[in-house]
Amino acid sequence: MTPDDAELDALLAHGPVAPERSFRYGDHPSQVVDLYGTAYEGTGAPVIALLHGGFWRERYDRTHLSPLAAALAADLGRCVALVEYRRVGGGGGFPATFDDLPPALAALPGARPVTLVGHSAGGHLALWAAARCPAAVASVVAVSPVADLALAHELALSDDAVGELLGGADLVAQRLDETDPMRMPPPPAPVTLLHGALDTTVPAELSRRYAQHATGELRELPGTGHYAPVTPGTGAYGVLAGAAAGGEAPRTGEHTGDRSYQG
């Protein structure tokens, strides 16, 4: 069993956490947002918009990050919006997946701009949205992001998920300018990249390359794979919570552990 396999088991062991409220931002079944920490709406703190991963495929939905959404809401005292979007195999892919992000962000409660947190493929979408919708985004925390689509395609990550996203391997080259954060001007919002040094699902080299492109802050987490940062209770989750809080220590809560990275 790889570190990523063990970490995924630990994440899924938490089980789904029901939202306090949900709303739709479009007619498609996947155009929905789940809200956690709704008591914190209207406090003036930026909403945290959370984008899940799963290599943009329909079979991976937002529910596996619902424990993270609930933990961040409790530990940071913020409203957390877990955003679903159309995915490959369910009406998504290019351009539909990308088209969902602007209206989803525009529909979030509270004031603009928001703190955008994305994991894996969701990290890619967070970086894309920060570049394409700069007025909507105050800061970005990209966790194990697929930050370099061209390199991910070259490495054929997850059986060439990039090719699936962009409509076929023969279309990748002509669509990278519209979809690859490495081909876009760096977003004006500050970007923090968190990446496990042992991540084999999305190698840390993708984040290293993006950090050079966008001069974002890259924090490589030793002894960590792909899923520990988004698993409440781990030391790596404490690093994520601190980054999402803007560098401030999380509130005392049951999810954060000792809030320091332990490897």
- Summarize pLDDT for 131-154 with one digit per residue, the tens: 999 999 999 999 999 999 999 999
Tell me the whole-structure pTM to 2 decimals: 0.94
- Summarize pLDDT for 180-222 with one digit per residue, the tens: 999 999 999 999 999 999 999 999 999 999 999 998 899 999 9
Q: Strand 191-196 relative to strand 137-143: parallel, antiparallel, unpaired? A: parallel
Say what angle helices 157-165 and 172-179 make with each other, to 10 degrees: 80
Q: Is 222 helix (H, G, I), strand (E, B) or coil?
A: coil
Q: Is 66 exposed, middle or buried (0-12, 13-18, 19+ CB in 10 A)?
A: buried
For residue 116, give both structure tokens: 């955008």
Identify residue 139 by its one-letter amino acid code. Answer: S
Tell me the residue ranges of DSSP E strands in the chain.
21-24, 32-36, 48-51, 80-83, 114-119, 137-143, 191-196, 217-221
Q: Is 144 exposed, middle or buried (0-12, 13-18, 19+ CB in 10 A)?
A: buried
Domains and CATH numbers, the chain: 3-244 (3.40.50.1820)
Average pLDDT value for the chain: 93
For residue 81, give both structure tokens: 């919006």
The predicted structure's pLDDT at residue 119: 98
The answer on pLDDT for 111 being more than 50 is yes
Burial state string for 201-227 with b = 16 or more CB within 10 A and e = fewer than 16: bbbbebbbbbbebbebebbebeebbbb
Percentage of the chain exceeding pLDDT 90: 89
Q: Is 172 helix (H, G, I), strand (E, B) or coil?
A: helix
Residues 6+ apart with CB under 8 A from 85: 30, 31, 51, 92, 97, 100, 101, 104, 125
Residue 248 neighbours by CB distance under 10 Å? 11
Burial state string for 10-45 with b = 16 or more CB within 10 A and e = fewer than 16: ebeebeebebeeeeebeebebbbbbbbbeebeeeeb
* 248 band by pLDDT with thresholds 50, 70 and 90: low
- Summarize pLDDT for 217-235 with one digit per residue, the tens: 999 999 999 999 999 999 9
